[in-house]
Amino acid sequence: MPDVIALASRVTQIAPSPTLAVNAKAKALKAAGADILNFSVGEPDFDTPLHICEAGKKAIDDGHTRYTAVPGIPELRKAIAARFQADHGWDYSPEQIQVCCGGKHGLYNIFQAVINPGDEVLIPAPYWVSYPPMVQLAGGVPVSVPLREEDDFDLDPDILDRYATARTRMIVINSPSNPAGCLFSGRSLEAVGRMALERGWLVVTDDIYETITYLDSRLPHILDVDPRLAEQTVVLNGVSKSFAMTGWRIGYCAGPGHVIKAMNKIQSQSTSNPCAPAQYAALAALTGPQDFPLTMRQAFLPRRDFFVEDLRSIPGVTCVNPRGAFYVFPNFSAYYGRSFQGKVIGDSVALADYFLDEAKVASVPGAAFGADAFIRFSFATSLEIIQEGMQRIKDALGRLS
């Protein structure tokens, strides 16, 4: 039967989040009894620290169960400003800060507040799955700028320049990145910062993995390039990854006052405020002990080292060593064109499907991130599972002809 109700064209041009979709399929197979090892998950395998949970419960007991100010409770915005000051030396007033329903929602608010139809947004690829559809939902045009594996996915300013036009309004930076865990070097950020200043671009810097790095040195940041960039940069961060709080849905943005005000307008007419008790939990996260991300990092490091080394031991597979976040992003394109039981595996979607069906390993095809040569595996899971998963992947690849 044909659907009675037609859908908006804006919906038909985008797809549901592929990472959430793979995760759902893996969970369904698992529930049906299949022995699935799930590497598709984009969240830490840690519970939210106890003192943060207690603060959330106490907020409910204290009656913080009503609407709050649209951009978030003043105490939390003050705490966020203080964190930015302590961690980076940045001067943001609480009015320049918006608390939103997760980092993803903050990005949505930014694009809705700034983009006009036809505006182009530069998005270095591999990119996080949600940037292009969110730009499209705002009427903008996502422009994918290729990063090269041989550069460790650092941004090459000359390549960036080739994709910039008179219609470019914005660039999205994500360092460390999802899906490759790559960083942009101080040198390339310097060049991007200069371009943004000269051409009046808005810089959106998604810093959600800032606290999860495997560096000994300081993570370079675009706002360190030139203080004037603060007037045309929106910083996005949140507690989802740093404090294992994905389900609480608290993110935050800092930027020029008029941009944040416009984002507040969007938020006031859509979600109102972020969940009240979750804001108190985030307050406890940002004002309490800051060693939790380090604890996670220590757990992630040996897993990363094993994963990368074992992937590199597979003939034809290359893998950049991630320097942040909790994903490996190996290049499997040497296996494209091989077949299983007469069926050719031609791309990342087919190979990830093959891994799921034949190895009972859930991963995310690189096509979802604008880089079809690759597959993303999360190492937010135990070393034992990674070892078992790698054995299954190697066996499955060995069955290809």
Ligand X SMILES: *Cc1c(COP(=O)(O)O)cnc(C)c1O
- Should residue 103 be labelled a site residue for ligand X when binding is judged by CB under 6 A? yes
> What's the number of CA atoms in the CB half-sphere (13 Å) around residue 137?
17
The SS3 assignment for 202 reads strand
Q: Which stretch binds ligand X (CB under 6 A): 46-54, 84-92, 149-157, 237-245?
A: 237-245
Q: CB nearer to ligand X: give 277 or 317.
A: 277
Q: CB nearer to ligand X: give 168 or 174.
A: 174
Neighbours of 398 (CB within 10 A): 9
- Judged by CB under 6 A, the residue of 147, 172, 208, 286 near ligand X is 208
Here the tokens at position 131 are 């940037």
Environment class of 177 (CB within 10 Å of its CB; exposed 0-12, middle 13-18, buried 19+): buried
**Nearest distance, CB of residue 55 and ligand X, angstroms:** 18
Map residues 19-58 to x or -, x wherever contact with ligand X holds by CB under 6 A. -----------------------x----------------
> Distance between CA 126 and CA 146 in Å, rounded?
7
Instruction: Calculate the CA dihedral of residues 160, 164, 170, 171 and round it to 10 degrees.
Output: -10
Q: CB nearer to ligand X: give 154 or 210.
A: 210
- Judged by CB under 6 A, the residue of 18, 193, 251, 366 near ligand X is 251
Here the tokens at position 366 are 């690189």
**Nearest distance, CB of residue 105 and ligand X, angstroms:** 6
DSSP 163-174: H--TTEEEEEE-
Q: CB nearer to ligand X: give 174 or 333.
A: 174
- Judged by CB under 6 A, the residue of 206, 210, 310, 347 near ligand X is 206
Residue 104 contacts residue 246 (beta carbons within 8 Å): no
**Nearest distance, CB of residue 115 and ligand X, angstroms:** 18
Residue numbers at the binding site for ligand X (CB under 6 A): 42, 102-104, 128, 174, 178, 206, 208, 238, 240-241, 246, 251
